[in-house]
Structure 1
Amino acid sequence: MNISQAVIHRIEELCRERNLTINALSNVSGVTQSTVNDIMSGKTYNAGIGTIKKLCD
């Protein structure tokens, strides 16, 4: 598992734990839906640490 896959996996786990959809995660984190979709689909390999932190907080 590479770092990108690990980030995707962890975000999926957090969404399950918090009972959030990807759309809801976008809304509560302040990260745009398109950015979240790109991260989750693997299109974005270099998501900034600030963006990842927003999604995981």
Structure 2
Amino acid sequence: MKDSKTEDEPRTANRELRIANCELRMGIRALLISIERGDSPSRRRLDSMPKRG
């Protein structure tokens, strides 16, 4: 019983890693596209943030 559990863990961790990697790539691609268009999300977020003081 112990063996099957230890065999499953790396496989599920690997799947999680692959999913995270895919999400990260998609996010980077979206960011690069928005930068090319000239509407950087970070700049927009900074502009919409309320000014302090």
Per the TM superposition, whether the score is higher than 0.5 is no
TM-score when normalising by structure 2: 0.37
Q: Normalized per residue, which structure has more helix?
A: 2
TM-score normalised by the chain length of structure 1: 0.35
* Greater relative contact order (Cα < 8 A, sep 6+): 1
Larger Rg: 2
